[in-house]
Amino acid sequence: MPDNRLACCVTGLFLAGALLIRLVHRRNGLPSERRRRDWLKYAVYVAVINGLWASAYVGRGAAAVALGLIVLFGSVEVFKVVPPPHKPGAAAAAMLFLTMALGPMLLPAGAAWQGAFAFVVMVTAATDSFAELSGRLLGRRKLCPRLSPQKTIAGLLGGLGMAVVVSLLLGFLLPGAHGMRLALVGFATALGAVSGDLFFSAIKRTVGVKDFSSLLPAHGGVLDRFDSLVLAAPVFQCSRALLLGGGL
């Protein structure tokens, strides 16, 4: 079973996100349709993120199924958006890439692999959600308008800052991790999350689509939701091994 501290931290994180959504709505005076869409997006996000990290505490089999579904649906989404001559090769390459990126989340050494799994999921989620909300609240200057027009410098800083805070709060998930090294692991993981988001945005711009699919209400496809995790996971594994020891 997960530590009660984890449940408290996750609850606090999502409550903070809800408060920021309310603040964004009040400050920007958004229409009711947009507000409803934001709350739908929030509800789906809470469900999928909590389901993903909690699957690790059910067992490796449940976690493998959860990651396998991301690989499967992500590969199907790539197959659908790539031009016909390249569909089979693109789907196979996507499946291999996603498996190699996410597979090691099941393999951390020792009995605390569930903690490492939950850590990378929640740090990635904090980076994603608070980057978006900070950008909508404070953002002016665009981060990379050619790839992702909605991302801003303020959003990037907000996402990275919250990722470090969440990393320090969740340090108990990584035995022996504390202080600056723990913060650096969280920061590196967050940079991986941002890079994953931009990488898949570049793919979407190349093939001329806004979303990979419409499977997840208000989010788009599975890859639209988990693109950050695809690079955040291997970056976490490498930074953990380098800064905290214990190998890959």
Mean pLDDT (whole number) for 101-128? 88
State how far the Cα of 239 lies from the Cα of 187, in Å rounded to an integer.
10
> Please, what is the average pLDDT of the chain?
92
**pTM value?**
0.94
Among 2-6, 70-74, 142-146, the range with the most confident prediction by mean pLDDT is 70-74
State how far the Cα of 123 lies from the Cα of 101, in Å rounded to an integer.
16
- State the pLDDT confidence band at 120, using cuts at 50, 70 and 90: very high
pLDDT digits (tens, 9 = 90+) for 176-234: 888 899 999 999 999 999 999 999 999 998 898 999 999 999 999 999 999 999 999 99
Task: Label each residue of 127-182 as H, E or C.
Answer: HHHHHHHHHHHHCCCEEECCCEEEEEHHHHHHHHHHHHHHHHHCHHHCCCCCHHHH
Q: What is the pLDDT of residue 1?
A: 65
pLDDT digits (tens, 9 = 90+) for 121-165: 999 999 999 999 999 998 788 878 777 777 889 999 999 999 999
CB 63, CB 56: distance < 8 Å: yes
C-alpha distances in angstroms, 170 versus 75, 76, 165, 206?
32, 34, 9, 37
CA angle at 197 for the pair 149 and 136, rounded to the nearest 5°: 45
CB 123, CB 232: distance < 8 Å: yes
**Residue span of the structural domain in which 94 resides:** 4-244
Please tell me the total count of domains within the chain: 1
